[in-house]
Chain A
Amino acid sequence: MNRIFGIIKKEVLLDLKQKHLVMALLLYVICNCFIAYKAFNVLPKVTWNALVLLIFLFVGLNTILKSFSSRYKNRQLFYYSFYNPVELLIATLIYNFLLLFTLSLAIVGTLGLFAGIEIQNLGLYVASMALGSLGVSILFSFISLLSIKSNSNTTIFSILALPLALPFMFLMLKINAVALGLIFDSTVINDIYIFIGLILMFFSLSLITFPTLWKS
């Protein structure tokens, strides 16, 4: 457990030292939100919901790509000799989840700054963003590890990862719509259970198959 925290601390320190990577992501968020806002000027709620999630999807793609591609190519041997693969996976997942969650809140904040926020059920909204970040980070981390091996890294990653992320997107759309007050669904707790179930399934799959992938 301590080693996992150690890895996470190392990643955070690395990011603080090379601030430009995280700043690039923040700039991506702000630019996206601004362009989206300028396209509509007056954002109805439905569009607001859709935009947040679209930007979230692509920010997720970029976040995980950043944390895997640029660094691992040079340091694979280093990591392999030091870390237990399972611990490395869990640490990367947690770190990516925290990063993506903060970025998702940044998306909501920025778009709200430009176009106004009308969230009715704040707890539900934050919970769905958190679950989405967790699921997306698990999924994308696994796929990016798969895609390191192929020649065209980023394209194959996007092709593999985007269809898999779609169920998360659908669920998030539905739960966010309920939280915003767009639709009324008293059984939204079922959707959250489905979400947690999906996340657990992908997480266990990644844990089981990751050591096989690591021995390359």
Chain B
Amino acid sequence: MLYVLIAGLIVPLKPGIISCYPNTVKPGYDVEFNVATYNTNLKTAKDQNVFLKFDDDQILSAKSGKVISNNELNISFDIPIDIQSKTKIASATLIIDNEIDGPAILPQAIFVKEYSNEFNEDHWVGDIRDKLHVKDNFAFPFRSILYETVRNTFFHVAIWMAMFVLLILSVYNSIQYLRTRKMNYDQWSNGLTSTAIVFGLAGIATGSLWAKYTWGTYWTTDIKLNMSAITLLLYLAYWILRASIEDIDSRARLASLYNIFAFFALIPLLIILPRLTDSLHPGNGGNPALGGEDLDNTLRMVFYPAIIGLTLMGLWISELYFRYLRLENNMIEKDNS
């Protein structure tokens, strides 16, 4: 867990391009762009190249440029009239490369309208792959909108996954209690559910913080957010149910029943419903799931230990709580006998 905390928070982001202005150009002109980048050393780098890539065959090299600061650049391109493209408005990727940072890209940086389709050989630079520099350092990928907050993946997503594991175990224990009526199982399910509730609250808190920095507000009318609020309400009601019944056996029985009920209500709410509706959340309703494009191998190296670490921590906390409950139970029985 310590490794996750340190690695997650300290490892720097790869260099990336934030924006490119102007966005849309007409072909045939000489256009000057103002490009803003992140985590780059544009001023100090010696061997710099800037390319505009329409597709694998059509790559344009910059005509001239001026570096304003380490993170800002003015570059001018000669946009040709003839571009081969399947769509009405052709889009190009901006690639900035230097020997300190390695390549940085901004997909769909500029859009070109009103081009014609005749192919003219002069403008295009050949395959640039051998011209780009290769960097070997360990850095997180640069995703637009997310920027630095991609680090929250380790905490937010891992907390929810750990919570799921805890809840599955607690439902198993509840079912076992209903079958065998041994207090052991009920204490386990109590401990696991309580830890799961705390993890759920932490998950919502981390998600809310993340939302503030990427979406602009702490909460929004997104279905996954609403559903997770409902699930948390359900489990808080579980706590209240446990607190309101005095008799140990009936409390255990009712709590187990409600636990099973709430878990089977949770599965459609948290997993099925969000995938069916439109949602801002990654993985649901039209967004690519976090794992396809968004998970780089560098992220994975910290993400998988985070899941394992948080799950184990959750199990450890529930076991401590279970032992406390068992001790309390033994003491009560000793007093009564």
Give residues in A with beta carbon < 8 Å to B: 142, 146, 149-152, 156, 159-160, 162-164, 166-167, 170, 190, 194, 197-198, 201-202, 205, 209, 212-213, 216
Question: Shortest CB–CB separation between residue A207 and chain B, in angstroms?
Answer: 12
CA–CA, A151 and B245, complex, Å: 7
B245 A149 Cβ-Cβ under 8 A? yes
Counting contact residues on chain B (CB < 8 A from A), the size range is 20 to 34
**Chain B residue at smallest Cβ distance from A210:** B257
Question: In terms of DSSP, what is the predominant structure of the interface of chain B?
Answer: helix
A150 B245 Cβ-Cβ under 8 A? yes
B258 A167 Cβ-Cβ under 8 A? no
Give residues in B with beta carbon < 8 Å to A: 178, 226-227, 230, 233-234, 237, 240-241, 244-247, 250, 253-254, 257-258, 260-262, 264-265, 268-269, 272-273, 276
A198 B257 Cβ-Cβ under 8 A? no
List 7 interface pairs A-B (beta carbons < 8 Å), by A numbering. Answer: A151-B245, A151-B246, A160-B240, A163-B230, A167-B269, A167-B273, A190-B276
Question: In terms of DSSP, what is the predominant structure of the interface of chain A?
Answer: helix
CA–CA, A156 and B255, complex, Å: 12
Q: Which of A163, A170, A205, A216 meets B260, CB within 8 Å? A: A205
Question: Shortest CB–CB separation between residue A186 and chain B, in angstroms?
Answer: 15
CA–CA, A177 and B330, complex, Å: 56
A205 B264 Cβ-Cβ under 8 A? yes
Q: Which of A151, A163, A201, A212 meets B237, CB within 8 Å? A: A163
Question: Shortest CB–CB separation between residue A170 and chain B, in angstroms?
Answer: 8
Question: Shortest CB–CB separation between residue B249 and chain A, in angstroms?
Answer: 9
Q: Which of B230, B245, B257 meets A167, CB within 8 Å? A: B230
Which chain B positions have C-beta within 8 A of A156? 240-241, 244
**Chain B residue at smallest Cβ distance from A216:** B250
CA–CA, A197 and B268, complex, Å: 9
CA–CA, A198 and B254, complex, Å: 22
Question: Shortest CB–CB separation between residue A30 and chain B, in angstroms?
Answer: 31
Interface centre among B227, B240, B244 (most CB of A within 10 A): B244
A194 B276 Cβ-Cβ under 8 A? yes
